[in-house]
Structure 1
Amino acid sequence: MKIYDSVIKGNIVTRDEIIQGGYIAIKDETIAQIGSGDLPEAEKIFDENGSFVLPGGIDSQVHSLSQKGREGFAWSTRSAASGGITTIVDMPYDDGSLICNRERFQAKIEDVHQNARVDVALYATIDPEEGTRRIAELVEAGAAGFKFSTFGTDPKRFPRIPSFLLFECFKEIAKYKLVAGVHNENEEAVNHYLDQVKQSRLTDWSAHALSRPKITETLAMAEIYELAAEAGCRGHVVHCSVGRGYEMCAGYRSRNVDTTIEACIHYLTLNHEEHAPVLKGLCKINPPIRPKAEVEAIWQHLKNGNVTVVSTDHVSWSLDRKSDPDMLKNASGAPGLEAIYPLLLTGCKHHEVPLQIAAAVMAENPAKLFNLYHKKGVLEVGKDADISVFKESPYQYNPRESGNNISEWSPYEGMTLDFKLTKAFLRGKLVCDNGVILAKRGNGRFVKPVAG
């Protein structure tokens, strides 16, 4: 009888180093040994010599159910597996069902059990009319965090939480040591600039960025972090497109306030000058895509350790919701689960950022942010054997090529990615093999946080 279930050979990206020609041994869903030299005995040997073996990605921000009858967990987690993402954290703003009470949360867990191909943790939120009264029951049900917004996209599906109520929520959430993630756009400021753009009758690709200038973000961030500081809550900004925001977060952290910040992959990849005129509605995202200078500023913050996590803010809108000639009428958001990990690794290579930093912002830090670190986040003995293997092999990204995406479009289409996923393992089981998804619906598990 062999000692281990399987062994993966390659360049192992641990927290502290890259073990050239190393190996990971797996037993009963977990990592049992990491080393170098002669391979131990195992039922299966995966020789990925020369490839980089990284922790399976954890995408901190996914909207699987934003368009009813469209994507769902069966497709979002298929895209995730094909991109080396082995856990997603799904948002609570589902079309027709705001996840704001125990009943809806439990129904969503059941959806995970039936349809997910990779593991799933879940955000919860509140109904503004109910205030904080459901937070305790949602914590008990297994919420990995709570999501709010300082801007009201929709009064029922995506409501604004006013400052006084946000403060009450933060104080309640602080009792449970969970994270409070907030969409960071100041409602009054956005409405003011949006009215200005509408009065000018500007409708082309430039209209969206003008309707949400940088100050609309930083005003909201100041509110979020100050409320978190006063409430003693873990305050998290779920996306930031401007360098100034990362400076703000670092400033609060330097004063022992538990603040964190998220850089979506589009803010590291797309810029207003080159991509917005071509992609138009396909790159309409809130907050907007910013100029090149902001993109480079965020990369510098990533290198300096001021970016907590990198996510997709994935949503697979149907193309008709992204192709209106009036830029302001298009839905906001874009798909990215299949592309995020190779996009980030490619960007790290071009910006001379060590792969250990990529592993931290894609796996270790998200695991800690959502209290999943007892199982997830690093290549370490005792952790779930969630592993993604990337070969340095340039290719042009085509979202239709793999067959693993419900969306026929992507803002990243045609980009050259330097790293290609060859294999992804979830709890030691091969779930993607060179683009072929082996994980069936129901393979994924709901992951409940454990407060540290």
Structure 2
Amino acid sequence: MHDLLFKGRVVTPHAVLDDGWIAVDGGRISRLGQNEAPPARHVEDHGDALILPGAIDAQVHSRSQKGQEDFVWSTRAAAAGGVTTIADMPYDDGFLVCTADALRQKAQEAGAQARIDYALWGTIAPDDGPAHIPAMAQAGACGFKFSTFGTDPVRFPRIPPDLLAACFEAVARTGLIAGVHNEDDELVRARIAAVARAGITDWRAHGLSRPALAETLAMAQIYETAAGTGCSAHVVHCSVARGYALCEAYRRQGFDTTVEACIHYLVLDEEHDVARLGGRAKINPPVRPRAEVEGLWHHLAAGNVTIVSTDHVSWSLARKSDPDMLRNASGVPGLDMLYPLLLTELSRRDLSPTHASRLLAENPARLFRLAAGKGGLAPGRDADITVARRETWRYDPAASDNVLTDWSPYAGRELDWRIAGTWLRGRQVFDGRTVLAEPGTGRFITPEQPSGVR
């Protein structure tokens, strides 16, 4: 007699099990199968709905604007979107997570607020070099984030090539990943100046100031640095098809290179959405033309996309409404929309929902060295489960109690899938309407692979 049984169409990384079931005991998956199900004390029968693994969102910014969102809201939105673990970025407003003490402090503060599980990225302050990387790994960092572009000299600094190589060497010794924001600093600054000289301030300014070449130049540097240091290198977002081809080429040569597609690059385009939304669709790197979006889908179908994330940040609308495009903050919210958007696009393109299982759960768990307890639906892993039902609906963030902001680049979008429920370690945290988990429910998740393995 199992504690809990889920019934429905079970989506593993490689197959959809019609008339499937998942047995849960003590908050972990015991076994799964098809057809005749074993007995359980409580049965969740979801008919022909999809039973999916809880998503792991690899790129979340819960504290980018001081006094705005924080973990109490980001993890609320996550639970409503079928996300059961977030990996939060280290560039908090006024608090760079660049030492072990800072990481431990953030983990403690997040623990009092989080409604779902959370992992934490670390980074460096350029003046410190890689000195604090080993201690941050010991403190539980899930990876280390760097940038080839300097958004802010203190909060989001550029890491120049020599220092990046030294950091990669240090990260390689921990056995974790180095994740990098991929835009060439010199090229972008030159193009920003050119846009200013031309007097272009409308929606076109952003794409013109950050061309596709800025991404691929930076990615070549990142992957060559990985090849020269033996580090696992992850590009944290790529909006151009050429970048995925670069990553695949390095993988074929035997290097541990990975690449991430944020959901906005898969569903928004420049000529329709950025032109309509202006600053609300300003994201770094930029949302690209529709032809580039289709190129990304080609790579996703071919297996060249490692993971999909949101790069979620809930800026207040005041930070996204300047008529001068380049004066707006960069980034958009999306945690509650990750699964509905991806499942909708997959089904409309006749692609299997198994892609979602791999891209949102199995592969992120492997990337962060969490696969023993997190990831796809498999015996021994946490019973982090999302149920999605087929339903046509339009997204209205202003009508939702689960998100902080009343704006979204996806507002008014028609979707084909809706989250009917989310479970964290076998406990329901969202019932399809209301987030049930209280702050403090989530746990700090750390890599199973110990530091110092190489």
Q: Determine if the TM-score, normalized by the shorter chain, exceeds 0.5.
A: yes
1:307 aligns with 2:288: no
Alignment of 1:16-31 (within 5 A): 16-31=14-29
1:85 aligns with 2:83: yes
1:359 paired residue number = 357
- What is the CA–CA distance in structure 1 between the aligned matches of 2:208 and 2:176, rounded to whole Å? 35
Deviation at 1:58, TM superposition (A): 0.4
2:103 to 81, 102, 105: 105
2:329 paired residue number = 331
2:56 paired residue number = 58
1:220-239, Cα deviation, whole Å (9 max, x unpaired): 00100000110000011000
Alignment of 1:108-123 (within 5 A): 108-123=106-121
1:289-330, Cα deviation, whole Å (9 max, x unpaired): 100011000001000000000000000000000000100100
- What is the CA–CA distance in structure 1 between the aligned matches of 2:63 and 2:405, rounded to whole Å? 14
Alignment of 1:57-206 (within 5 A): 57-206=55-204
- What is the CA–CA distance in structure 1 between the aligned matches of 2:193 and 2:61, rounded to whole Å? 28
Moved more, 197-206 or 315-324: 197-206
- What is the CA–CA distance in structure 1 between the aligned matches of 2:14 and 2:204, rounded to whole Å? 43
TM-score (norm 2): 0.98
Deviation at 1:451, TM superposition (A): 1.9
Deviation at 1:38, TM superposition (A): 3.3
Deviation at 1:390, TM superposition (A): 0.3
Moved more, 15-24 or 262-271: 15-24
1:246-276, Cα deviation, whole Å (9 max, x unpaired): 0000000000011000000000000011111
1:22-42, Cα deviation, whole Å (9 max, x unpaired): 111111010012122333222
Deviation at 1:191, TM superposition (A): 0.3
1:135-182, Cα deviation, whole Å (9 max, x unpaired): 011000000000000000001100000000000000111011100000
1:209 paired residue number = 207
Give the partner amino acid of 1:187.
D
1:11-61, Cα deviation, whole Å (9 max, x unpaired): 001123211111111110100121223332222211101100010000010
SS of residue in 2 equivalent to 1:104:
helix
1:387 aligns with 2:390: no
SS of residue in 1 equivalent to 2:84:
strand
2:242 paired residue number = 244
SS of residue in 2 equivalent to 1:190:
helix
SS of residue in 2 equivalent to 1:282:
helix
SS of residue in 2 equivalent to 1:381:
coil
- What is the CA–CA distance in structure 2 between the aligned matches of 1:16 and 1:94, rounded to whole Å? 37
1:109-150, Cα deviation, whole Å (9 max, x unpaired): 101210000000110000100001100110000000000000
- What is the CA–CA distance in structure 1 between the aligned matches of 2:131 and 2:32, rounded to whole Å? 46
Alignment of 1:227-238 (within 5 A): 227-238=225-236
Deviation at 1:200, TM superposition (A): 1.1
- What is the CA–CA distance in structure 1 between the aligned matches of 2:67 and 2:15, rounded to whole Å? 44
1:222 paired residue number = 220
SS of residue in 2 equivalent to 1:400:
helix
Give the partner amino acid of 1:343.
L
- What is the CA–CA distance in structure 2 between the aligned matches of 1:359 and 1:37, rounded to whole Å? 21
2:411 to 410, 413, 416: 413
- What is the CA–CA distance in structure 2 between the aligned matches of 1:351 and 1:227, rounded to whole Å? 36
1:260 paired residue number = 258
- What is the CA–CA distance in structure 2 between the aligned matches of 1:200 and 1:434, rounded to whole Å? 49
C-alpha RMSD of matched pairs (Å) = 0.9
Figure out how many residues of one structure are paired with residues of the other and give that number. 450
SS of residue in 1 equivalent to 2:222:
helix
- What is the CA–CA distance in structure 2 between the aligned matches of 1:248 and 1:197, rounded to whole Å? 28
SS of residue in 1 equivalent to 2:399:
coil
Give the partner amino acid of 1:120.
Y
TM-score (norm 1): 0.98
- What is the CA–CA distance in structure 2 between the aligned matches of 1:262 and 1:422, rounded to whole Å? 27
Percentage of matched positions with identical amino acids: 52
Give the partner amino acid of 1:403.
D
- What is the CA–CA distance in structure 1 between the aligned matches of 2:438 and 2:36, rounded to whole Å? 34
Deviation at 1:103, TM superposition (A): 1.2
Deviation at 1:216, TM superposition (A): 0.7
- What is the CA–CA distance in structure 2 between the aligned matches of 1:222 and 1:37, rounded to whole Å? 49
- What is the CA–CA distance in structure 2 between the aligned matches of 1:254 and 1:183, rounded to whole Å? 22
SS of residue in 2 equivalent to 1:445:
coil
Give the partner amino acid of 1:206.
R
Give the partner amino acid of 1:74.
V
1:430 aligns with 2:428: yes
- What is the CA–CA distance in structure 2 between the aligned matches of 1:99 and 1:330, rounded to whole Å? 24
Deviation at 1:407, TM superposition (A): 1.0
Give the partner amino acid of 2:252.
S
1:176-219, Cα deviation, whole Å (9 max, x unpaired): 11000000000000000000001111111111110001111111
SS of residue in 2 equivalent to 1:310:
strand
SS of residue in 2 equivalent to 1:338:
helix
CA contact (8 A) 1:299 1:351 kept: no
Deviation at 1:354, TM superposition (A): 1.2
Structure 1 segments of 4+ aligned residues over 6 angstroms from their partners: none
2:340 to 332, 339, 342: 342
Give the partner amino acid of 1:61.
Q
Give the partner amino acid of 2:423.
F
1:296 paired residue number = 294
